[in-house]
Amino acid sequence: DIQMTQSPSSLSASVGDTVTITCRASQRISSYLNWYQQKPGEAPKLLIYGSSRLQSGVPSRFAGSGSGTDFTLTISSLQPEDFARYFCQQSYTNSWTFGQGTTVDI
């Protein structure tokens, strides 16, 4: 299995801040990297696919980048509804794997 490692595991931020979350794959996965947002008690929501492509309906303050093994999710001008847990997930192989998650709290 490809291991996905996120950092940090948690971070504190304020409304209006810009935050960056990193995801590293244990082997090269080209751009086959997705990002999800999960709020407590809810199912995950797809934010970004193909490393940098915004899922329909997702605000443009979310941006993804990277290729190969290193990826980032950047949230600009953090909004109250953005405080949540974020997961990366690789779809390069037929066995998908998720990162351990990053909690963004106030």
Partner 1 sequence: QITLKESGPTLVKPTQTLTLTCTLSGVSLSTSGVGVGWIRQPPGKTLEWLALIFWNDEKRYSPSLRSRLTITKDTSKNEVVLTMTNMDPVDTGTYFCAHRISYHIGDTYYSGLDYWGQGTLVTVSS
Interface with partner 1 by CB under 8 A: which residues?
1, 31-32, 34, 36, 43-46, 49-50, 53, 55, 87, 89, 91, 94-101
- Of 17 and 91, CB closest to partner 1: 91
- Of 3 and 18, CB closest to partner 1: 3
- Of 82 and 87, CB closest to partner 1: 87
- Of 13 and 46, CB closest to partner 1: 46
Cβ at position 16, least distance to partner 1 in Å: 28
Is the Cβ–Cβ distance between 25 and 34 less than 8 Å?
no
DSSP class of residue 88 equals: E
Buried/exposed code over 16-41 (b: 16+ C-beta within 10 A; e: otherwise): eeebebbbbbeeebebbbbbbbeeee
Cβ at position 61, least distance to partner 1 in Å: 19
Rounded to an integer, what distance in angstroms lies between the CA atom of residue 83 and that of residue 29? 28
Cβ at position 42, least distance to partner 1 in Å: 8
Give me the amino acid identity at 94: N
Cα Rg of the chain, angstroms: 13
